[in-house]
Amino acid sequence: MTIVKHELKQGKTSFLIWTAVIGFLLMVCVFLFPEMKGQMESISDTFASMGSFTAAFGMDRLNFGTLIGFYAIECGNILGLGGAFYAVLCAVGILAKEEKDKTAEFLLVHPVSRIRIITEKLIAVFIQITALNLIIYAVSVGSMTMIGEEIPWKEVNLLHLAYYLLQIELLGICFGISAFLRKGSMGVGLGIATMMYFLNLIANITESAEFLKYITPFGYCEGADIVSNGKLDGTMVTIGIVMGIIGITVAYLHYTRKDIH
């Protein structure tokens, strides 16, 4: 597991920064709820009458006066975008950086197969994303406990599970893309995450574009749907898992045959 340890060591600073930023923003967001709770009822009515804008974020179907309604929208955006950006940045350059940093020749002369290299790099990214989610989950639950609100465990757990699955799906897709890159590109990863986010907004606004929810992982992370239904959409989650597996499979197939310079 030498490569795993090396990748974790290299990504330690990035991991700490992203975890600290996302955790801090979530904590601040939760701490704001008691101060704003009394104003949330009127705000909910205002948002509900704003048409397409509220539909895009699902704000017309959630009560801002409840902790879970507030959390699903305000904290959901932090979890969604922050987690997605971190996942794609970890995955999109993980295989390409050996060529970019001119270390591929040094790595490949060692008695280690390309399959092992791919596997250990994949494990390292998976560990980082899982650790980030466990920490921010603890921060969120701890913050809710500190403000004295009753924690809606089922909905909170489902929301965090959905965003974790989103990150794993993006990990798989970007891991596959990384096998084709010769110079790791943050822009590619950030572009994919941003595109997926806006595809979900478009699907929320326009009924004729609802099919986009089956393309973007943000489709099964919709807070309003999770809170209303009390479960994740099994079909969307399954499609997401399949897309992630395809990305990882492509990475193995291409990288093992790739002419690495």
Amino acid symbol at 197: Y
pTM of the model: 0.89
CA distance 86 to 174: 12
List average pLDDT for each run of 10 residues in the chain, which is 261 residues long. Answer: 88 95 95 77 56 57 79 88 94 77 56 83 96 97 92 94 96 91 78 92 83 92 88 95 96 82 58
The per-residue pLDDT for range 55-109, each reduced to its tens digit, is: 555 566 677 778 888 898 888 889 999 999 999 999 988 887 766 655 555 555 5
pLDDT at position 112, please? Answer: 74
CA distance 79 to 23: 9
pLDDT at position 136, please? Answer: 96
Question: Helix H segments across 49-151?
Answer: 52-57, 67-70, 76-77, 83-92, 97-100, 104-108, 114-146
Residue 1: how many other CB atoms lie within 10 Å: 10
pLDDT at position 232, please? Answer: 95
